Amino acid sequence: MADTSSRFITQWTEVATQNTNVAATATKAAVAGQSHYITGYSVSSGAAPSAAVSVTITNGATTVERVELPAAAFAPIAVNFSAPIRCDSNSAAAITCPAVGGVTRSTVTLRGFTMYT
């Protein structure tokens, strides 16, 4: 029997960058009849945040992962999950980095795949 599973899976990467004192949010929009699976994320900043901030990953309105960025310079953060985080069917997947202060640039990336449910 032929393997047809790849016809039902689509890989994706969503990226958002902000150059001013606003939040950066990368979103994979909800798709009817499909579930998103988050396989990893990354966060970087051009300078130290003016105050500590919480970067959140959400499944619809539910927070599924949170990482704290200190009010200090930090190396880019890259996380690959050993098991993907499954989002609810018909729900968006998103990562948000709040404003980090001043004109500091920050970038967030969310990686995963979508599967028909």
Rounded Cα distance between 31 and 29, Å, is 6
**Residue 20 confidence (pLDDT):** 81
- Do 59 and 75 touch, CB atoms closer than 8 A? no
Per-residue pLDDT at 74 exceeds 70: yes
What are the percentages of helix, strand and coil residues in the chain, rounded to 5?
Answer: 5, 60, 40
**Residue 93 confidence (pLDDT):** 98
- In the chain the domains, ranked by start, together with CATH numbers, are 11-112 (2.60.120.40)
| Average pLDDT value for the chain | 91
Alpha-carbon distances, residue 8 vs 11, 33, 99 (angstroms): 10, 11, 37
The verdict on pTM exceeding 0.85 is yes
Residue 55 confidence class, pLDDT cut points 50, 70, 90:
very high
